[in-house]
Structure 1
């Protein structure tokens, strides 16, 4: 019987539990918010989300506009460094035109100017295509004539105009004369 006695709550425990339940009922009544209140809260949240969406949309538009302007400026001024290098070449050519000295001095000036130009090309990865004696590569060469020759067919016999590549891209194919098979 003593075991059953321990399971029964004591009178002061019962009073404390009842008063706690009564306090909860008085302090926190379980009242459902009105539909007007729920609607007002939903409208506030919708307004906040709409404002956030408008700001995000405006930010995205500003980023897109700035990126477009950056691309335009990059395209517009991409050759600035290259053009600056070519100014020295132009200056040398103008000095050669003013100089009325001997043919030997003019030739020396033109050679120096050509060295400046080649140096500028190397600096900006402009590579010459001079394919004489090589097999025709339609990606780098443009055959303008075919002639009989003592070499393997489709071999570049002579170069009429050198081609050029910028980095890995052909900017002007070499214009070449190609050999044809003997009849």
Structure 2
């Protein structure tokens, strides 16, 4: 490939390290050997940097996998910690079974502890009485004639629960149907 101008030839000579060592464009053997040695050193540096980067990337990937595995393994630890007082109050209620009143008090304490644990982990009840039937949050188990608007929840057979914004269990409900015209 021919150079288009003397300036480009000078720039190429300068890039190659030819700073006027040979006026006619010929490059000395020592200069070429020095350039080759410098390039070999640079290649070795780049190879070393590449190997270091690969190793570091592999270490980051492995650490991330370990973190994910630990997160899966211990994901319920917060919830389990919140449930320990519930177990404690159940055990206390069963120990002191001298009267129905004591057992009732123990069960009430247990329910309060359990409700508190649910709140702390953002687990909420679905209480749909009076709401329109939502098939994403409710499971209709039956229909009854009612003065309420059709497809309105009139009673709950089993409460549903939502964790954050995800339904864990839909509420089992009974919905209103229009009264028959015969009445």
Give the TM-score taking structure 1 as reference length. Answer: 0.75
Give the 5 Å matches for 1:112-123: 112-123=109-120
Q: Give, in angstroms, the shift of residue 68 of structure 1.
A: 1.4
Cα distance in 2 between the residues matched to 1:119 and 1:29: 84
Pair 1:88–1:29, CA change in 2 (3 A): same
Cα distance in 1 between the residues matched to 2:141 and 2:50: 61
Q: Give, in angstroms, the shift of residue 60 of structure 1.
A: 0.8
Cα distance in 2 between the residues matched to 1:144 and 1:56: 60
Aligned residues: 156
Structure number with larger C-alpha Rg: 1
> Are 1:148 and 2:159 an aligned pair?
no
Give the 5 Å matches for 1:53-92: 53-92=50-89
In structure 1, the gaps of 5 or more residues are: 1-27
1:144 counterpart SS class: strand
Cα distance in 2 between the residues matched to 1:29 and 1:158: 97
1:173 corresponds, among 170, 173, 177, to 170
> Are 1:30 and 2:21 an aligned pair?
yes
Cα distance in 2 between the residues matched to 1:125 and 1:164: 10
Q: Give, in angstroms, the shift of residue 150 of structure 1.
A: 2.4
Cα distance in 1 between the residues matched to 2:72 and 2:46: 39
Pair 1:108–1:42, CA change in 2 (3 A): same
Give the TM-score taking structure 2 as reference length. Answer: 0.75
1:146 counterpart SS class: strand
Q: Give, in angstroms, the shift of residue 139 of structure 1.
A: 2.1
Pair 1:160–1:40, CA change in 2 (3 A): same
Higher helix proportion (structure 1 or 2): 1
